[in-house]
């Protein structure tokens, strides 16, 4: 028979109560943890839904802009074609450009050549330059440097800077049925360079540095290299850096040489990168 002890019973009840309270607390804490996790998941879901909605809206906006641009290009092509077919020389040149870029119409280099030729034959300098490029690169027509030179010469005489530069390159390299002639190359390169063409300015600087077609003059080389480099021409930046490094035509300045080489190297110029790796 079990004997009843009040003190023992009280202690047992107190122990059970403590365990119950502890258990309740643990359950409550677990519930709060689950609640926090659930709220966090809901917040993440809302954030993700918002981001997805934003992406969808951005995509839809971009698609609308593309559709609008394509529609505008189609309208532009249609209007340009109409004018070109009526004999408008500038429209014919513009139509050639649209065919090259594939704007408002599928890209078609042969059609581009066709319309450039119509405009070029009417004396449009830009069309003559473009047609020369097509012949030089074999775009939409068999590659033919002689034809390229023919059209560039016509355009260069109308003071088109790009045609003058290209013609200068032909004489510099002796291509397109013209003999290698540094004096002629200098003549056409200068005409282009004086109009601000950065590539022609670089070539002219190179000719002065090397004494090709002109008396060697490092100061004059620096002048043209600098004009070209200031327009962002990487080759000119590299060459100007070398002039500063060697103190040719300009006071020696290693810091300026490195600065210029870095600018050129950032554009992918391999010679400038080599200079940085070996001389900086």
The reply to whether 131 falls in a domain is: yes
Dist. CA 127–CA 120, nearest whole Å: 5
Q: Is residue 97 part of a domain?
A: yes
**Within a domain: residue 166?**
no
- Inform me whether the pLDDT recorded for 86 exceeds 60: yes
Q: What is the 3-state secondary structure (H, E, C) of the chain?
A: CCCCCHHHHHHHHHHHHHHHHHHHHHHHHHHHHHHHHHHHHHHHHHHHHHHHHHHHHHHHHHHHHHHHHHHHHHHHHHHHHHHHHCCCHHHHHHHHHHHHHCCCCCCCHHHHHHHHHHHHHCCCHHHHHHHHHHHHHCCCCCCCHHHHHHHHHHHHCCCCHHHHHHHHHHHHHCCCCCCCCHHHHHHHHHHHHCCCCHHHHHHHHHHHHHCCCCCCCHHHHHHHHHHHHHCCCHHHHHHHHHHHHHCCCCCCCHHHHHHHHHHHHHCCCHHHHHHHHHHC
Q: Which domain holds residue 115?
A: 71-153
Instruction: State how many domains the chain has.
Output: 1
Q: Is residue 113 part of a domain?
A: yes
- What is the Rg, in whole angstroms, of the alpha carbon atoms belonging to the chain? 37
- d(C-alpha 188, C-alpha 152), whole Å: 11
Read off the pLDDT of each residue in 58-63 and give the average, rounded to a whole number: 84
C-alpha 116/C-alpha 126 separation (Å) is 9
* More confident position, 171 or 2: 171
Q: Is residue 275 part of a domain?
A: no
Which tokens hold the place of 103? 């704007």
Query: Does residue 119 form part of some domain?
Result: yes
Amino acid 1: pLDDT: 47
Q: What is the mean pLDDT of residues 47-62?
A: 82
The structure tokens listed for 24 are: 């309740």
Residue 280 covered by a domain: no
Does residue 239 register a pLDDT over 70? yes
**Residues 250-279 pLDDT 10s:** 999 999 999 999 999 999 999 999 999 999
Q: Sorting pLDDT into bands at 50, 70 and 90, what band is 5?
A: low
CATH number of the domain at 80, please.
1.25.40.10
Q: CA 197, 200, 203 angle in degrees (round to 5)?
A: 155
Q: Write the pLDDT tens digit of every residue in 171-193.
A: 999 998 999 999 999 999 999 99
Check pLDDT > 50 for residue 211: yes
pLDDT digits (tens, 9 = 90+) for 115-163: 999 999 999 999 999 999 999 999 999 999 999 999 999 999 999 999 9
Give domain status of residue 10, yes or no: no
pLDDT for the residue numbered 108: 97
Which tens digit of pLDDT belongs to each residue from 213-223?
999 999 999 99
pLDDT tens per residue, range 97-118: 999 999 999 999 999 999 999 9
pLDDT at 4: 47
């Amino acid at each position: 028979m079990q004997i009843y002890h009040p003190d023992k019973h009280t202690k047992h009840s107190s122990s059970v109560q403590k365990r119950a309270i502890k258990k309740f607390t643990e359950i409550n804490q677990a519930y709060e943890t689950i609640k926090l996790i659930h709220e966090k998941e809901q917040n993440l879901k809302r954030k993700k839904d918002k981001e997805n909605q934003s992406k969808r809206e951005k995509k839809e906006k971009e698609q609308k802009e593309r559709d609008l641009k394509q529609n505008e290009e189609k309208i532009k092509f249609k209007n340009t074609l109409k004018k070109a077919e009526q004999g408008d020389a500038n429209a014919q040149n513009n139509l050639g450009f649209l065919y090259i870029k594939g704007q408002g119409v599928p890209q078609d280099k042969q059609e581009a050549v066709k319309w450039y030729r119509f405009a070029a034959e009417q004396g449009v300098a830009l069309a003559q330059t473009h047609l020369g490029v097509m012949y030089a690169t074999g775009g939409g027509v068999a590659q033919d440097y002689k034809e390229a030179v023919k059209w560039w010469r016509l355009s260069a005489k109308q003071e088109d800077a790009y045609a003058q530069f290209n013609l200068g390159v032909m004489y510099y390299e002796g291509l397109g049925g013209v003999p290698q002639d540094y004096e002629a190359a200098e003549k056409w390169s200068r005409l282009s360079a004086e109009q601000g063409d950065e590539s022609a300015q670089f070539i002219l600087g190179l000719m002065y540095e090397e004494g090709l077609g002109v008396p060697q003059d490092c100061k004059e080389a620096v002048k043209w290299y600098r004009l070209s480099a200031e327009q962002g021409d990487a080759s000119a930046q590299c060459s100007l850096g070398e002039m500063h490094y060697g103190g040719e035509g300009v006071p020696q300045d290693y810091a300026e040489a490195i600065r210029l080489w870095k600018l050129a190297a950032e554009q992918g110029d391999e010679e400038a990168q080599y200079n940085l790796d070996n001389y900086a």
